Structure 1
Amino acid sequence: MANNDLFPLVSVIIPFYNCPYIDQAVASVLNQTYPNIEILVVDDGSTIHQNKLDPFRSRIHYFGKANGGTGSALNYGLRAAGGKYFAWLSSDDLMYPHKIARQVDFMEKHQALISCTDFHLINNFNQITMRALAVKFPSLRKLIEALLTFCPINGSTVMMHRSIPGRIGFFNESLACTQDYEYWLRVHLTRIDFYFINEVLTLYRWHEGMGSVQKKAIVDHEFNIVRDRYAPQMRALLNLL
């Protein structure tokens, strides 16, 4: 049994919808070196690939729900989670075995409420196709400026303290594809320090079936709406830096 003072519980939330890589995602969390993890798989109305979870049923918390999108699945997991920290892993991505341990250590040492990491890009066969893709910003100002043009934060690399939803709310379930981008904007507008760990701890899979490819038009449309909504507040924040 892990000591909760030395190893605070981490809740890894995996939203799942008809993804053929779900077993690999779960296995990558089960292979973590960190000793105190709970895995919450939130099935967002899948019709296929649930059988890939069968070997792991005794080691995960499985929740089935009607289809509502990634934001609703994340919120379901956040409400069910018991950890001091929450980590999101998309069902087609992977964690390196030391990801949770390194990130918790960083969060505890810096008293950080939220952090993200660097990542490699992989293909359908888990082959690395591009390395260390996270954009490194020399200052908070540069990051805020970037957030007005694109989303540089990969959700599968993020870990956050359980207090954050109480401060800024949950993910916006009305957004089909950009609920993460909108959430990161709210984090910054609340003046919560968003730390970057300059170490590759995550493998981000790029494939033709992923939502950002299948729904590119929706992604672009939503992004413009969210950016325009928050741009005045973000520019006001820039004036304070």
Structure 2
Amino acid sequence: MHNLLSVIVPTRNAMPYLPEALASIMAQGYPHLEILVVDGASTDGSREVASAFPQVRLIEQAGTGLGAARNSGLAAARGDLIAFLDADDHWPADSLSMRITYLHAHPDAPYVSGYVQRFVEPGTPEPAAYANGWLDQPVPGYTPGAVLVRRSFCETVGPFDEQLRIGCDSDWLARAQDTGAVLSFVPQLVLHKRIHTSNLSASIAAYQRELLTVARRSLQRRGVI
């Protein structure tokens, strides 16, 4: 028996990356799949591109941030399994099947990830933060695009914090970890993550401030401070 799987794709003016992201989802070959593209008031044709793909449901919102987009997708999702893919990233072949197979084989595992390979978009200067070979090899995927999660665990963790413009993903993953649940890993590459000048995390100072907030909240939840 196949579980319905919902893939949530937040996008805002994501051309020309969105077609590759959606094509990589369709290429997974999973037979029970819905793709939810949450568009934040794009003006570059992203909505039209998304609507041209079969199995895509377009959800339009006012462009109030990444956390709000993810939450809109979660509210509309019908699947027992939830996956995320940012509009500027893409999955390699068999990314879904490896993670789905793991969850089917481990019914007590609430979520699973794999490895991420970052790559620099041509014409983008390589950020200093990715020096020392970090771009040359896959690393463990502590990012939503690498994670496959059961809906029941999403409900346990709760929504993404819409007040965190950049750190909402880190906050969600920290809250998931603080439940005591273990994030399992498959030893394969499951996500190609694009580095370009429009990445939210390129706002390094703002990102660092929000990560400090995430860390402080986690320490408070665990009673350390």
* TM-score of the two chains, using structure 1 as the length reference: 0.81
Q: Which residue in 2 is equivalent to 1:116?
A: 113
Check the 8 A contact 2:33/2:55 in 1, yes or no: no
Q: In structure 1, what is the Cα distance between the partners aligned to 2:170 and 2:222?
A: 13
Q: In structure 1, what is the Cα distance between the partners aligned to 2:188 and 2:222?
A: 27
For residue 216 of structure 2, give the secondary structure of its aligned residue in structure 1.
Answer: helix
Structure 2 unaligned blocks of 5 or more: 123-134
Q: In structure 1, what is the Cα distance between the partners aligned to 2:121 and 2:49?
A: 16
Q: Which residue in 1 is equivalent to 2:60?
A: 64
Does residue 231 in structure 1 map to residue 223 in structure 2? no
Structure 1 unaligned blocks of 5 or more: 135-151, 237-241
- Percent of aligned positions with the same letter in both sequences? 27
Deviation string 1:61-114 (CA, Å, 9 cap, x unpaired) is 011111111111111101101111000001100011211111111011111211
Q: Which residue in 2 is equivalent to 1:97?
A: 93
Q: Which residue in 1 is equivalent to 2:136?
A: 130
Check the 8 A contact 2:41/2:60 in 1, yes or no: yes
Structure 1 stretches of 4+ moved >3 Å: 232-236
* TM-score of the two chains, using structure 2 as the length reference: 0.87
Does residue 43 in structure 1 map to residue 31 in structure 2? no
Structure with greater proportional helix content: 1
Q: In structure 2, what is the Cα distance between the partners aligned to 1:226 and 1:189?
A: 12
For residue 208 of structure 2, give the secondary structure of its aligned residue in structure 1.
Answer: helix
Q: Which residue in 2 is equivalent to 1:138?
A: none
Q: Which residue in 2 is equivalent to 1:189?
A: 178
Q: Which residue in 1 is equivalent to 2:131?
A: none
Q: Superposition RMSD on alpha carbons, in Å? A: 1.8
Q: In structure 2, what is the Cα distance between the partners aligned to 1:209 and 1:52?
A: 20
Q: Which residue in 2 is equivalent to 1:212?
A: 201
Q: In structure 1, what is the Cα distance between the partners aligned to 2:136 and 2:43?
A: 32
Q: In structure 2, what is the Cα distance between the partners aligned to 1:229 and 1:108?
A: 33
Q: Which residue in 2 is equivalent to 1:165?
A: 154
One-letter code aligned to 1:204: K
